[in-house]
């Protein structure tokens, strides 16, 4: 449920769907996101859905906070939407050079790497949102025994394709990027393809992801980046 709308500065709405981070709350965020997108409301120039928030940016030269707020409050979100959510398999290689935080995770979680991987692979994860860097999916929820904090000092450069975990979430680094998530492996898949203007993201909010463990050899043969 949309609980509250406030202003984030003078050119954005901050829509709060409650403090709970779960699939039900996030589906509500995505429903608003899709409905507003289809409506093509004049002046809105960006929508940023996340776990439990939706930020609506607008062009202050065209409209203002109270105008957009009124439109969002009167929005009919009951209309059935085209759900074309996908189920996507993501191959991940966890061999050396890829599993950057193997030692750290074994120690933190008090599990062998084999146990960690067994708890991580072949399960369905839900895509809550994409962002931070282009196409990066935020997936969840991972097994309760795999949950740990970010690195104290983030890496300056996490390699492209790295699969990371932190708290209840997993993600995929679509570019070489700074970052503090615990890296368990690397995927050869191209998760963001900027040659496709229409649909550059392989994974979109609402999609289901299943990670599949692959060998080094399979990794090399599948590498399409």
Partner 1 sequence: MRVKMIGNYFEILRGGINTTFQDKGRENLYHIGIPFSGVMDNRNFLLANKLVGNHLTAPVIEFAYQGPHLKYTGDKLNFVITGDVIFKIKKKDNEIDGVCYQSYHLENGDEINIISTNKSVYGYFAIGSEIDLNFQWNSCSINTKANIGSNNGKKLDSGQKINLLKINSDKTLKKVNYINSKIENIRVIKGTNFDYFSDEGKKIFFEKEFVVSKLSDRMGMRLEGPKIENIINTNIKSEGLVKGVIQVPADGNPIIMLSDHGTVGGYPKIGVVVSVDYDRLVQLAPGSKVKFQEIELSDAETLFKLYEMETKNLLSQI
> Would you tell me which residues interact with partner 1 (CB under 8 A)?
6-12, 14, 21, 33, 45-55, 57, 60-61, 64-65, 129-136, 138, 174-175, 177, 192, 194, 197, 200-201, 204-205
Minimal distance, residue 19 CB to partner 1, in Å: 9
Minimal distance, residue 23 CB to partner 1, in Å: 14
**Which of 61, 83 has the CB closer to partner 1?**
61
**Which of 204, 208 has the CB closer to partner 1?**
204
**Which of 132, 212 has the CB closer to partner 1?**
132
Residues 26 and 146: their CA atoms lie apart, in Å, by 22
Minimal distance, residue 175 CB to partner 1, in Å: 6
Q: How far is CA 128 from CA 66, 85, 125, 168, 206, in A?
A: 28, 12, 9, 12, 6
**Which of 192, 211 has the CB closer to partner 1?**
192
Residues 15 and 158: their CA atoms lie apart, in Å, by 32
Structure tokens at 165: 């975990």
Phi and psi of 50, rounded to 5°?
-135, -165
Minimal distance, residue 14 CB to partner 1, in Å: 5
Phi and psi of 76, rounded to 5°?
-95, 105
SS3 130: strand
């Amino acid at each position: 449920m949309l609980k509250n709308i406030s202003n984030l500065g003078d050119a954005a709405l901050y829509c709060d769907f409650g403090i709970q981070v779960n699939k039900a709350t996030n589906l509500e965020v995505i429903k608003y996101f899709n409905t507003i997108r289809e409506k093509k409301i004049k002046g809105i120039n960006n929508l940023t859905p996340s776990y439990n928030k939706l930020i609506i940016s607008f062009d202050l030269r065209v409209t203002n906070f109270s105008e957009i707020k009124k439109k969002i409050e009167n929005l009919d979100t009951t209309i059935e939407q085209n759900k074309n959510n996908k189920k996507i398999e993501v191959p991940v290689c966890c061999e050396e050079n890829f599993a950057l935080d193997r030692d750290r995770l074994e120690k933190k979680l008090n599990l062998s790497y084999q146990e960690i991987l067994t708890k991580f692979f072949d399960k369905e994860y839900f895509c809550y949102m994409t962002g931070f860097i282009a196409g990066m999916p935020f997936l969840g929820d991972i097994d309760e025994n795999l949950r740990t904090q970010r690195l104290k000092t983030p890496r300056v450069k996490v390699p492209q394709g790295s699969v990371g975990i932190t708290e209840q979430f997993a993600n995929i680094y679509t570019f070489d990027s700074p970052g503090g998530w615990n890296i368990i492996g690397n995927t050869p898949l191209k998760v963001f393809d900027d040659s496709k203007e229409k649909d550059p993201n392989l994974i979109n909010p609402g999609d289901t992801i299943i990670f599949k463990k692959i060998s080094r050899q399979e990794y090399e043969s599948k590498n399409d980046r």
